[in-house]
Amino acid sequence: MRAVVQRVSSARVLVDGQITGQIARGLLVLVAVRQDEASRDVAWMAEKILQLRLFEDASGKMNLSVADVGGGILAVSQFTLYGDCRRGRRPSYSEAAPPAVAQAFYDEFVRKLRESGLLVQEGVFQAKMDVQLTNDGPVTVLLDSPERRGEGGSQR
């Protein structure tokens, strides 16, 4: 799995002009599923995002998680995160999972985030979405599940 995580003051997703998900302070998570995904990747990614310390404490250091600040999470599926632009001028999406597989893992990812008790909103899988956000900082991080980085399952 791959995710782009942005700390936001607010974010929302619109589909056909209708808001499908929105949060105030929290994290906007753009997430993509790879072809050979495993449930352990989904669990790792959800847990990692929930525990990321991207919010500032009283000393101004990024020591607080989204849960610590009572924030929300807006999850948006985005297969284009696996776009490979190394050859030619058009990205190749051969690493991205097919839609039916990707949706099952995406849904599992959202369920795992919701188990935290935080407000978790989402876009609409495979829809053309308008994502609006106010990036706070800006703070943006890129996450790849350990299997994708060559770390293997035992080093999580």
C-alpha–C-alpha distance, residues 54 and 69, integer Å: 10
pLDDT at 154: 40
Which CATH number does 2-146 carry? 3.50.80.10
Q: Are 52 and 7 in contact (CB under 8 A)?
A: no
pLDDT at 149: 53
pLDDT per position in the chain (156 positions), as tens?
999 999 999 999 999 999 999 999 999 999 999 999 999 999 999 999 999 999 999 999 999 999 999 999 999 999 999 999 999 999 999 999 999 999 999 999 999 999 999 999 999 999 999 999 999 999 999 999 986 555 554 443
pLDDT at 146: 86
pLDDT at 148: 57
Helices (H) and strands (E) in the chain, counts: 2, 8
Boundaries of every domain in the chain: 2-146
DSSP 49: H
Q: Which long-range contacts (CB under 8 A, 24 or more apart) does 93-96 make?
A: 94/35, 95/34, 95/35, 96/32, 96/33, 96/34, 96/35
Which residues have a catalytic role annotated?
78-80
